[in-house]
Amino acid sequence: MDELFDFTGKVVLVTGGSRGLGRAMAHAFAERGADLVIASRKLPACETVAREIEELGRRALPYACHVGHWQELEGLVAATYEHFGRIDVLINNAGLSPLYPSLHEVSEELFDKVVALNLKGPFRLSALVAHRMSAGDGGSIINISSTASLNPSPTSEPYGAAKAGLNAITRSFAFAYGPKVRVNCIVAGPFLTDISKAWDMPAFEKRAATSMALKRGGQPDEIVGAALYLASPAASFTTGTTIRVDGGTL
Ligand SMILES: NC(=O)c1ccc[n+]([C@@H]2O[C@H](COP(=O)([O-])OP(=O)(O)OC[C@H]3O[C@@H](n4cnc5c(N)ncnc54)[C@H](OP(=O)(O)O)[C@@H]3O)[C@@H](O)[C@H]2O)c1
């Protein structure tokens, strides 16, 4: 294995690791030697991915928690340190963008839920983990943002605003916890995961043909290269930045 991308002995915590982009990244790190913490709301789904990781010969801790609930995140960090004794890579990946009929019909509950999962939770978890990382061997934090943070759409505004906040804390955390902890952000474009099941696919394909250089949605495995890069020593001089993995979205 290329030593730049050898994660043997490293522990990677992926929120939303049970499906979609999170599962693809969890597999990629395990295939390169890492042990994994798979966190999402539904324990059975985390346990399924944890078994897949174990079949690759790695150790895995499935853990149920709601990333939008501030008080549940200390338990996630404590359980990880109790089980593995370290966290080398945190991937703040869990996120969602619920549909709503119009901006004036966005409820306070929907707004708070979206901001809690996409911004508040990653803020709290990053603070807890970066504090521990900087007192130990250091590490890398990767936030999974969205092109909605750069090209906000009226159809996903609380989400775009929350992800823009995530881009902002990427930079401030990089300064707060550097040089031992690097913090970066992947701005994802449209990926064909469970999220895309709610899309009008003919309309999406029409839009992709004119507004995306690659003219298609991404497959979950296509997020992996950027995540491995940002977590690895190959990115030792890369922090506080965002990388777009969006098929060349305008
Ligand atoms: N797919 C896209 O087109 C796209 C585009 C731009 C950005 N992104 C971003 O990429 C990330 C991953 O998206 P995806 O497409 O892989 O989504 P996905 O397939 O819907 O998977 C979402 C993951 O997050 C977990 N999750 C959802 N709510 C949670 C909560 N409150 N607490 C803890 N875990 C929670 C889910 O598991 P449980 O249901 O068990 O909780 C699942 O593991 C998200 O941050 C999303 O905003 C995706």
Predicted confidence at residue 1, as pLDDT, reads 75
In a domain, 40, yes or no: yes
pLDDT at 95: 98
Is position 159 annotated as part of the catalytic site?
yes
Q: What is the pLDDT of residues 18-46, one digit of tens each?
A: 999 999 999 999 999 999 999 999 999 99
Kindly state if the Cβ of 150 falls inside 6 Å of ligand 1. no
**Closest C-alpha residue for ligand 1 atom 7:** 146
The two three-digit tokens of residue 144, written as one number: 């999974």
Whether residue 235 is contained in a domain is answered as yes
Is the pTM of the predicted complex or chain greater than 0.95?
yes
d(CA 32, CA 106): 43
Half-sphere exposure of 55 (CA within 13 A, CB side): 7
Enclosing domain of residue 240: 3-244
Q: Kindly report the CATH number assigned to the domain that includes residue 232.
A: 3.40.50.720
* Structural domain total, the chain: 1
Which of 63, 159, 177, 229 is an active site residue?
A: 159
Check if 21 has its Cβ closer than 6 Å to any atom of ligand 1. yes
The ligand 1 atom at the shortest distance from the C-alpha of residue 41 is 41
Place of tokens 């801790």: 61
Atom in ligand 1 nearest the alpha carbon of residue 117: 31
Q: Is the CB of 95 under 6 A from ligand 1?
A: yes
Asked if residue 223 has its Cβ within 6 Å of ligand 1, the reply is no
Q: Choose one of 117, 156, 195, 224 to mutate for the ligand 1 pocket test, by most ligand atoms within 8 angstroms of C-beta.
A: 195
| Per-residue model confidence (pLDDT) at position 210 | 97
**Could you tell me if residue 249 is inside a domain?**
no
If DSSP codes are grouped into helix, strand and coil, which group holds residue 233? helix
Residue minimizing CA distance to atom 46 of ligand 1: 95
> Measured from the CB, is residue 66 less than 6 Å from ligand 1?
yes
| CA–centroid distance, residue 34 to ligand 1 (Å) | 21
Give the per-residue pLDDT at 68: 98
Instruction: Give the C-alpha distances (Å, rounded to integers) separating 93 from 22, 25, 36, 82, 108.
Output: 6, 10, 14, 22, 23
128 belongs to a structural domain: yes
pLDDT per residue as tens digits for the range 186-206: 999 999 999 999 999 999 999
Domain for residue 80, yes or no?
A: yes
Cβ–ligand 1 contact at 227 (below 6 Å): no
| 194, part of any domain | yes
- Predicted local confidence at residue 188, as pLDDT: 98
10-residue averages of pLDDT along the chain (250 residues): 94 98 98 98 98 98 98 98 98 96 96 98 99 98 98 93 98 98 99 95 97 98 98 98 97
250 occurs within a structural domain: no
User: What does each C-alpha distance from 215 to 3, 63, 246 come to in angstroms?
Assistant: 34, 37, 10
Q: Where are the beta strands (DSSP E) in the chain?
A: 11-15, 35-40, 60-64, 89-92, 139-146, 181-188, 242-245
Q: What is the pLDDT of residue 238?
A: 98
**75 falls within a domain:** yes
Structural contact between residues 35 and 10, judged by C-beta atoms closer than 8 angstroms: yes
